Amino acid sequence: MRLPIFGGEGGATVRVGLAYDLKAEHLARGLDPEDAAELDEADTIDALDDAFRRLGHVPDRIGSAEALAARLAAGDRWDLVFNLCEGVRGSCRESQAPALMELFGQPFTGSSAYALAICHHKPAAKRELRDADLATPNFAEIRDAADLDGPAVAALRYPMFVKPAAEGSGKGIAAASKATNPAELRRAVCSCLERFRQPALVEEYLPGDEYTVGVVGTGAEARVIGVMAVDFVRDDAAGVYSLHTKSNYLDLVKYRLADDAVGCAAGELALAAHRRLDCRDFARHDIRCDAAGIPHFLEVNPLPGLNPRTSDLPILCGLAGIGYGELIGLILDAARRRLAIKESR
């Protein structure tokens, strides 16, 4: 199926399915608030619905992967599904909705099930980039506390930083995640293993500036749409872009567009990572500099939040002069171009 151009003059009307996990619904089912941090607020879905309509398209709110599965099995199809499903169970939860759509042949925005699984598992993504000689902090994956006594950790230098291997939105990250000695490292790792029941990522801490980079497109057509510096303005942020910091960003950080040499280097690294990890259509990459000011890849979110007021990617776009509706149009058009290119091969 060849998709028409999305939005803009001469664009055709398209039926766009909207797949998402609504935070309120999962909280009502008993999901822990921290576990629900990645899920969407109702105003995000309202904003997307409005953006689709302003672009001249017909949105259909599908909901969660479970609802998507039921409708696909019943024979429902859309010109395109705009996928925001984070999932709530399993280490490959972000891959569940895309895997369903791949099974049923339903076109959708964003990365494949495989790419989402790799990107969601931070050590796996870092191994991919390390193999490509792209800068990322030295690291070790800890599956059990006994791994702390192994050679992989012994090769790392303090201070170190500890985070869950497969979480997002700053979950499991706090001031105590930074370890300056073996006792602090063991406490941080054991706490992470116990809380999240998954491996912990231990990496050398980078003391330099932090950036987040928005990328739109796929493969050779991918491009950086903005680089945003994250400046910590209060001590209680502890220089850590945690869930607490993100939830209180108006008080704890200041965002600015970074178009200097370091910002450009951060953008180039993010773009290379985007292509190496086979990210599609859109993603947001987190980059941090070492003591010499050299950017290093921290992680990528190929399903970044799209709340028009509080999510990093729309905030970044606002600084770069890209409106919310324009951002959504760019994502839709990237998907259309990718699908058309695939069809012509």
Taking only the tens place, the pLDDT of each residue in 33-69 is 878 888 889 999 999 999 999 999 999 999 999 999 9
> What's the start-to-end Cα distance of the chain, in Å?
13
Give me the number of domains the chain comprises.
Answer: 3
Q: Report the C-alpha gap between 246 and 95 in whole angstroms.
A: 25
Section 190-203 average pLDDT: 95
Kindly report the CATH number assigned to the domain that includes residue 258.
Answer: 3.30.470.20
113-120 vs 122-131: helix crossing angle, rounded to 10: 100
Section 183-201 average pLDDT: 96
In terms of domains, do 224 and 324 share one?
yes
In order, the DSSP letters of 6-73 are: PSSTTPPP-EEEEE--BHHHHHHTT--TTTTTTSBPHHHHHHHHHHHHHTT-EEEEEESHHHHHHHHH
Q: Residue 334 above 60 pLDDT?
A: yes
In terms of domains, do 186 and 213 share one?
no
Q: Is residue 127 part of a domain?
A: no
Q: Report the C-alpha gap between 176 and 216 in whole angstroms.
A: 34
- Mean pLDDT, all residues of the chain: 91
Q: Is residue 133 part of a domain?
A: no
Domain boundary (204, 220, 255) is at: 204
Section 260-267 average pLDDT: 98
Q: Would you say the C-alpha torsion 163, 169, 174, 175 has a positive or negative sign?
A: positive
- Strands of the sheet with 15-19, listed across from one edge: 58-63, 15-19, 80-83
- Residue (of 3, 110, 7, 86) closest to 51 by Cα position: 7
Instruction: Quote the tokens at residue 246.
Output: 């993100």
Section 137-145 average pLDDT: 97
In terms of domains, do 200 and 212 share one?
no
Q: Is residue 237 part of a domain?
A: yes
Give the pLDDT confidence score for residue 259 in this predicted structure: 94
In terms of domains, do 215 and 189 share one?
no
Helix H or strand E encompassing 225: strand 223-232
Structural domain including 218 reads: 207-341
Q: Is residue 309 part of a domain?
A: yes
Q: Residue 130 above 80 pLDDT?
A: yes
In terms of domains, do 299 and 234 share one?
yes
In terms of domains, do 200 and 211 share one?
no
Residue 36: partners with Cβ closer than 8 Å, 6 or more residues away? 23, 26, 27, 88
Q: Is residue 8 part of a domain?
A: no
In terms of domains, do 83 and 41 share one?
yes
In terms of domains, do 212 and 300 share one?
yes
Q: Is residue 2 part of a domain?
A: no
Q: Residue 142 above 80 pLDDT?
A: yes
Q: Report the C-alpha gap between 178 and 80 in whole angstroms.
A: 43
> Helices then strands (H, E): number in the chain?
13, 12
Q: Model confidence at 168, in pLDDT bands (50, 70, 90)? A: confident
Q: Residue 11 above 60 pLDDT?
A: no
